[in-house]
Amino acid sequence: MTDNGNTVSATWNRGLAPPVSIPWSADVVVIGGGIVGVSTAWFLARQGIEVVLCEKGHVAGEQSGRNWGWVRNQGRDPREIPMMLESLRIFRGLEQQIGESVGFVEGGCLFAATTDQQLQDFHDWLESARDFDLDTRVIDAGGIRRFVTGAARAWKGGLYTPSDGRAEPHLTSAAIARAAARDGASILTCCAVRGIESAAGAVSGVVTEHGTIKTSVVLCAAGAWTSMFCRSMGISVPQLKVRGTVARTVPADSVLEGNLFDKKLGIRRRQDGGYTIAHGSILDHGITPSTFRYAVKFIPALKKEITVLRLRFGKDFFDELALPASWPLDQPSPFESRRVLDPEPSQRILRRIRASLGQVFPAFADLGIAEAWAGIVETSPDVVPIIGEVGELAGFYVATGFSGHGFGIGPGAGKALAAMLTGEDNPIDLEPFRLERFFDGSPIKLQSSI
């Protein structure tokens, strides 16, 4: 493994330095230093709101530093597109605004089809997104050759969005966190939140491992930990996890500048001249007690993905079983015992990624792999985020369930969340993302045909 400063592990393998002191109060406390939490903190700080962000490990130590780096409208559930359009606008101006590179390039996004059914699904998706006036179009095999060179796959056509892009996960959230700090936010790492204090039915404080911060507004943007955090407060947030295995290659010739997805291979160009690669469609789920707890709500998602689901039974089940449902706030919590979710990449899936890379791009059959890693993706039952005030406690909000595509939408979500938390007019309608949709009898529907 080489270390050229672009390693994913560089994002989360820094020494753990707890804060020297913590503020005793804040207008808003954000739990979680992923892209959603840091973006929210940044937009709040820019409005002069006193915001404290608590992260149990490092900024972007989990999903936000381990993802593929795709920033796309293409293929999304229509409910997400207004927020994603805003996110793309933010990404376009981000580097200039914060004065740091995040590797954002509008390199285009292509989903390539090998079957007529896939092509039909692309047409159906385009129809569902018609109202948003995107630059997405269905292209033929000749069109694909203008975007990708050296591919040996006989694609029938593809769905292509020139304005979609990519950014570097190992840079983006940390850069936004630094911008938030410059604008006045307190970003506390190695600072797990154990729970919430309340008075008269409303939030009154946040209990961290280093002391209590008085506040009346809390946003729980705790990624894969949100369901467990909320459960300890008696709030049910249906959420399941899948492991994603990813690798990056050494620098190589350019075969594409953007992102390509073809069911067996997800590949995008990197700022360092290599490629981030993954298998296009394996859902690698370790069965846990939550699988049974939430199974009924996930039936529509399971039906859609049944052919790509790989179930494992073993350590994950017993690890979750051993976790307490709640804990005293004056003693170490489960969040302190697992600072960073750092799963092992699957060697079997890595072999399949390598094989697919060589099949699609024969010139890359022996391309060196510089690094491999895995991340835990958390997903909601309809694969769309859960955002809003939840439970009986006034002032307690969640933003979670970004379901494997929250990196691209993260800055847009942060802007919308900041407006929600301050009660400002929100240009993004957050109603479709309310938690209650899973409990009030609304049909649980996956609205993207792809």
- 41 near 187, Cβ under 8 Å? yes
Name which of 244 and 381 has its Cβ closer to ligand FAD.
244
Query: Which CB sits closer to ligand FAD, 105 or 377?
Result: 377
Kindly state the smallest distance separating residue 380's Cβ from ligand FAD, in Å: 11
Q: Which is nearer to ligand FAD, 141 or 309 (CB)?
A: 309
- Is the distance from CB of 95 to CB of 101 less than 8 angstroms? yes
Strands 137-140 and 109-113, sheet pairing:
unpaired
DSSP type of residue 183: T
Measured between alpha carbons, how far is 376 from 315 in angstroms, rounded to an integer?
15
Chain-centre distance of CA 58, in angstroms?
16
Which residues contribute to the site for ligand FAD (CB under 6 A)?
Answer: 31-37, 54-57, 61-64, 66-70, 192-193, 221-225, 229, 244, 246, 335, 375, 377, 402, 404-408, 410
Per the CB < 8 A criterion, the answer to whether 228 and 346 are in contact is: no
DSSP 398-412: EEE--TT-HHHHHHH
Query: 28-31 and 218-220 as β-strands: parallel, antiparallel, unpaired?
Result: parallel
DSSP strand pairing (266-269 vs 275-278): antiparallel
Tokens at 260, concatenated: 């390509």
Parallel, antiparallel, or unpaired for β 137-140 and 369-379? unpaired
Q: What are residue 278's phi and psi, to 5 degrees?
A: -155, 170
CB of 191 to ligand FAD, least distance (A): 7
Minimum CB–partner distance for residue 242 and ligand FAD (Å): 8
Residue among 441, 11, 402, 372 at smallest CA distance from 224:
402
Shortest Å distance, C-beta 400 to ligand FAD:
6
Of 191 and 255, which has the nearer Cβ to ligand FAD? 191
CB 405 to ligand FAD: min, Å: 4
Residue whose CB is less far from ligand FAD, 80 or 123: 80
Please give the Cα distance from 199 to 182 (Å, whole number). Answer: 33
Q: For residue 292, what is the enclosing H or E element?
A: helix 289-294
Taking the complex as a whole, the smallest distance from the CB of residue 140 to ligand FAD amounts, in Å, to: 26
158 vs 375, which CB is nearer to ligand FAD?
375
With respect to ligand FAD, which residue has the nearer C-beta, 13 or 115? 13
Give whichever of 49 and 174 is closer to ligand FAD, judged by the CB atom.
174
Helical (H) or strand (E) element with 250: none
CB 154 to ligand FAD: min, Å? 26
